[in-house]
Chain A
Amino acid sequence: EAEVAQSPRYKITEKSQAVAFWCDPISGHATLYWYRQILGQGPELLVQFQDESVVDDSQLPKDRFSAERLKGVDSTLKIQPAELGDSAMYLCASSSRHRRAFFGQGTRLTVV
């Protein structure tokens, strides 16, 4: 069964350092999402891509976060510099035109 691949699974970084996460969506899925989930809360959308174009990044803290999906396939989410409040689970999801979203295993980020 096709899956959304994310790496790394876990990341510990020091405050003010740069960190990057990678996501490979299910083949053929044009829409890719990055969500952030703080412990005990529901996921919140950071950025949504349709192919290589950003559809919604209104909740992305653009002073420190960036996201790209250059060839409309895999995607990278970067944080620079990381802050303590960025500690969370970062989830990537993808969907086809029928819009059922499938989630990857996530990257758990701890900023120390």
Chain B
Amino acid sequence: ELKVEQNPLFLSMQEGKNYTIYCNYSTTSDRLYWYRQDPGKSLESLFVLLSNGAVKQEGRLMASLDTKARLSTLHITAAVHDLSATYFCAVDLNQFYFGTGTSLTVIP
């Protein structure tokens, strides 16, 4: 059974700081997605990573995929309060297997 683990589960960071969220998965896949979820809301697609070495950036967020290490990272640069949300990675193996989620709180 595929396991998708994220760490940390909870992250509290100050505005302006940098941090990285990690997503490890237990079987081979070259398709990985990052989603954002605000409290009580649905999931918003952030990034689609479709090959080893893929890197995507949007604003203060940058995602990368290392399929050999079975690792994806979501890097936050100079955090702002609006980034507070829960972030999920999801591995595509004919269905989407979601990670445990990382709850991010950015403190002014």
Contact = CB atoms under 8 A, between A and B. Distances in A.
Interface stretch (B52-60, B61-69, B72-80, B91-99): B91-99
A50 to B, nearest CB: 10
Q: How large is the interface on A (under 10, 10 to 19, 20 to 34, 35 or more residues)?
A: 20 to 34
B95 A41 contact: no
A42 B43 CA distance: 10
Contacts of B45: 100-103
Interface of A: 33, 40-45, 48, 55-56, 91, 93, 99-106, 108
A33 B95 contact: yes
B101 A42 contact: yes
B95 A100 contact: no
Contacts of A55: 94-95
B95 A42 contact: no
